[in-house]
Amino acid sequence: MRPLKERLIEQIRSHGPIPFEQFMAAALYDPEDGFFTSKMLRSVQSGDFLTSPEVSPLFGGTLARFVDLELSRLSFPSVGEGASAAGRAGSEGAFLVEVGAGSGSLLKPLLTTLETPVDAWAVEASPSAREALGGILPAGHVVTDLDDLPERFSGVIIANELLDNLPVALAVRAGDGWTERWVGVQDEGLVLVPVEVRPEVGEWAERFGLPAPDGGLVEVQLAAGEWLEAALKRVEAGAILVIDYGDTAENLEKRRVEGTLRTYRAHHLGPHPLDEPGETDITVDVNFTALIDQAAGLGASVEYRRQDDFLAQLGLRERMSELRYQELDLARDGDPIERLKVRSLRTEAETLLHPRGLGDFRVLVVRVDR
Ligand SMILES: C[S@@+](CC[C@H](N)C(=O)[O-])C[C@H]1O[C@@H](n2cnc3c(N)ncnc32)[C@H](O)[C@@H]1O
């Protein structure tokens, strides 16, 4: 098959410019050449970006505490409280679903630390990631789409660094209104072309993209809201945990001059998103106000935090001091290799809490009680 960029150029030449979200969906999820759907596993040390669970197993280990707390709130007993590991499994038991689970680096330590028995599932767009997850989860529990999950369940859904990848439309502030940028063709390349704004895009930009300077770019995140709504529909009672980079609509103001749309490749900022579709990650800063608004509108309650505070509250700092003591003991009379292992576990955990790095990520907990 011809390269994705050539196919897109031909499609646009024949049928006209396409909305940016359609371009982004093709670049990330085209069955042949999409960044996530082509062969490689992306979220690993040798891949294109490094996420919290890839930095440290203590990320998943700490989130286990969150899941235990949420499930005890729903009266699912932990093993210590009398549940047998098999006892609550199955459709009657608590569900734990990770969406965009990548290599399984979050699920693995989470499931080994978790005290409450769960029926664990993963939703993953990438075939190579699904293969890796097949080694961790029971047969049939690794699916491609939210729609492939059981229709209703109680439990927890986790999405770490998923929503920043969901396709966005591009709105540009023009006077006291908005225009949109679609993807067209000029000479042999793809270019952004101005078009009249679609009503739903203008409406979202007006609600969550102001104030913006004239010519400022706003990524319109309708797909992220639709994802949250679809996830909420599945949950009878429980919580959805969204962790990502981004901020409130108010705090994103300064990022509306150039916008936050960018690409990553091999751990560095990559070329313009239109240059090499399928070859780079395409991502934006998540507008958490829009998600909070969506969740509240659907009757859910929300809690919004920074990642450093969230992990600290779940006991990560105490775990780090335990490691520090362990390291000191090993320095006195232990195995030096073991000591180095303990030290790297501790320094990796520090990375998760770094106030200008991963610690600055945002955490949204959306809870439903029915
Ligand atoms: C940035 S990676 C994060 C992986 C993992 N959550 C982590 O933190 O290491 C995003 C992951 O989400 C998957 N993904 C992207 N869009 C998806 C979608 N619409 N549904 C399910 N998975 C998706 C990608 O294949 C990729 O594995």
Which residue has its alpha carbon closest to ligand 1 atom 20?
A: 125
Contact 107, 101 (CB under 8 A): yes
Q: Write down the mean pLDDT value for the chain.
A: 93
C-alpha closest to that of 39 among 122, 127, 102, 100: 127
Instruction: Give the pLDDT mean for 131-156.
Output: 96
| Ligand 1 lined by 287 (C-beta under 6 Å) | no
Cis status of the peptide bond prior to 211, with omega within 30 of 0:
yes
Nearest-CA residue for ligand 1 atom 4 is 102
Average pLDDT over residues 308-321: 98
Q: Name the pTM for this structure.
A: 0.94
Residue 225: helix, strand or coil by DSSP?
Answer: helix
Q: Does residue 126 line the site of ligand 1, with CB under 6 A?
A: yes
Domain for residue 344, yes or no? Answer: yes
Residue 335 lies in a domain: yes
Our answer on whether the CB atom of 38 is closer than 6 Å to any ligand 1 atom is: no
In a domain, 32, yes or no: no
**Ligand 1: does its nearest atom lie under 6 Å from the Cβ of 161?**
yes
Which of 45, 164, 165 to probe ligand 1 with, by most ligand atoms within 8 A of CB?
165
CB distance 225 to ligand 1 below 6 Å:
no
* Ligand 1: residue whose CA is nearest its atom 27: 102
Query: How much is the pLDDT for 1?
Result: 80
Mutate to test the pocket of ligand 1, among 123, 162, 166, 227 (most ligand atoms within 8 A of CB): 162
Q: Is the CB of 48 under 6 A from ligand 1?
A: no
Note the pLDDT of residue 85.
44
Query: Residue holding tokens 């690993």?
Result: 44
Closest atom of ligand 1 relative to the 126 alpha carbon = 25
Which mutation among 43, 265, 286 tests ligand 1's pocket best, with the greatest number of atoms within 8 A of CB?
Answer: 43
**321 occurs within a structural domain:** yes
Q: Please tell me the distance between residue 169's alpha carbon and the centre of ligand 1 in angstroms.
A: 19
Does some domain include residue 154?
A: no
Q: Distances from the Cα of 191 to the Cαs of 180, 219, 272, in angstroms?
A: 13, 17, 10
Between the CA of 99 and the centroid of ligand 1 the distance, in Å, is: 7
Distance 343 CA to ligand 1 centre (A): 29
Residue nearest to atom 1 of ligand 1 (CA): 161
The whole domain housing 342 covers 317-353
CA-closest residue to ligand 1 atom 3: 161
Say how far apart CA 228 and CA 300 lie, in whole Å.
Answer: 11
283 lines ligand 1 (CB under 6 A): no
Spacing, Cα 259 to ligand 1 middle (Å):
22
Sheet holding 281-283: strands in order across?
268-269, 262-265, 281-283
- Given a cut of 80, whether residue 269 has pLDDT beyond it is yes
- Give the count of domains, the chain: 1
Mean pLDDT across the stretch 162-169?
A: 98
d(CA 129, CA 134): 9
Residue 221 CA to residue 249 CA, distance in Å, equals 12
Residue 201 falls inside a structural domain = no
Q: For the residues 316-337, what does the mean pLDDT come to?
A: 94
| 271, 5 Cβ separation under 8 angstroms | no
Q: Is residue 297 part of a domain?
A: no
Give per-residue pLDDT as tens, 56-81: 999 999 999 999 999 999 988 887 77
* pLDDT band, residue 40 (cuts 50/70/90): low
| 167 CA → ligand 1 middle, Å | 13
* Pair 337, 220: CB distance under 8 Å: no
Angle between helices 199-208 and 288-297 (to 10 degrees): 110
- CB of 158 shorter than 6 A to ligand 1: no
- Model confidence at 92: pLDDT above 80: no
User: Exposed, middle or buried by CB within 10 Å (0-12, 13-18, 19+), for 174?
Assistant: middle
| The pLDDT of residue 158 is above 70 | yes
- Residue 123 Cβ contacting ligand 1 at under 6 Å: yes
Q: How many angstroms is it from 297 CA to the middle of ligand 1?
A: 26
Asked whether 51 lines ligand 1 (CB < 6 A), one says yes
* Bridge partner residues of 225 (DSSP): none
74 part of a folded domain: no
The predicted-structure confidence for 207-251, as pLDDT tens digits, reads as follows 999 999 999 999 999 999 999 999 999 999 999 999 999 999 999
Encode 64-96 in three state secondary structure: HHHHHHHHHHCCCCCHHHCCCCCCCCCCCCCEE
Residue 88's pLDDT is 41
Task: State how far the alpha carbon of 286 is from the alpha carbons of 119, 126, 170, 209, in Å.
Answer: 29, 21, 14, 12
